[in-house]
Chains A and B, each alone.
Chain A
């Protein structure tokens, strides 16, 4: 398929996800606890999208490669070494706002 409203179903059934560095794709996959390999487009190197992918790689949550090294990555990958991605905490934001607005 080309475009779908939501990939949630496919994600749920997947054992491994190979994706571009888009933040939405990365976060949705990690939140479902699926192992993720991020493929970087070399031609868009100064795209800010890479910032999140690089950070996730630094944190050990994703594997990282470009188109030419994808096969090699797939052959040598150790998915068990990937660290879990803890969820964000919007409650901290709510607490902060309540505090600064004097709503507590």
Chain B
């Protein structure tokens, strides 16, 4: 959604064509991100003509301020929904930055890893808005990601297993 999409596209801006094809996963209710992504990929294709990408949608796993109990149920449903998608794409790398949408995708990839079907490297970059506290997605994926990147030093102190590279968006 919105700010997350802008941030993640900035993260992608300096990546080489080794990071291809790119599969974007969006929440079904997200109306604005698709346009931003297409515009980004169009510009990229001007430099890298062989550039490839795809877009998939999954049900939104949690509404803002949704209760804890019902969030567990809807997230579980989203994980089950994501499994066939993650199985189909078998990504080598998952890059995410915090929207609720990323939790089920990462958990489904983690599951496929446990089942020895596909080992995916999960890289989580916490939003630049998070200076002192982690988002809920961050708190969960801190334990499931291979690399957890924060953009402010306070968070590095609180979450020592994280990586601090300064501001990267």
Contact = CB atoms under 8 A, between A and B. Distances in A.
| Interface SS of B by simple majority | loop
Interface string A65-104: 0000000000000000000001011111110111011010
B127 A100 contact: no
A94 B13 CA distance: 9
Interface in A10-57: 23-24, 27, 48-49, 51-52, 54-55
Interface stretch (B45-53, B79-87, B110-118, B129-137): B129-137
Q: Chain A, interface size: which category?
A: 20 to 34
Contact of B129 (A23, A86, A100): A23
B141 to A, nearest CB: 17
B132 A51 contact: yes
B6 interface: yes
A89 B11 contact: no
A97 B19 CA distance: 10
A35 B169 CA distance: 20
A51 B169 contact: no
| Interface SS of A by simple majority | helix
B149 A93 contact: yes
A48 B128 CA distance: 12
Interface of B: 2-3, 6, 10-11, 13-16, 18-19, 93, 121, 123, 125, 127-133, 135, 147, 149, 151-152, 163, 165-169
27 contacts: A23-B127, A24-B3, A27-B128, A48-B135, A51-B129, A51-B130, A52-B128, A88-B10, A88-B166, A88-B167, A88-B169, A90-B13, A90-B14, A90-B169, A91-B14, A92-B166, A92-B168, A93-B11, A93-B14, A93-B125, A94-B15, A96-B149, A97-B15, A97-B123, A98-B18, A100-B147, A101-B93
Interface of A: 23-24, 27, 48-49, 51-52, 54-55, 86, 88-94, 96-98, 100-101, 103
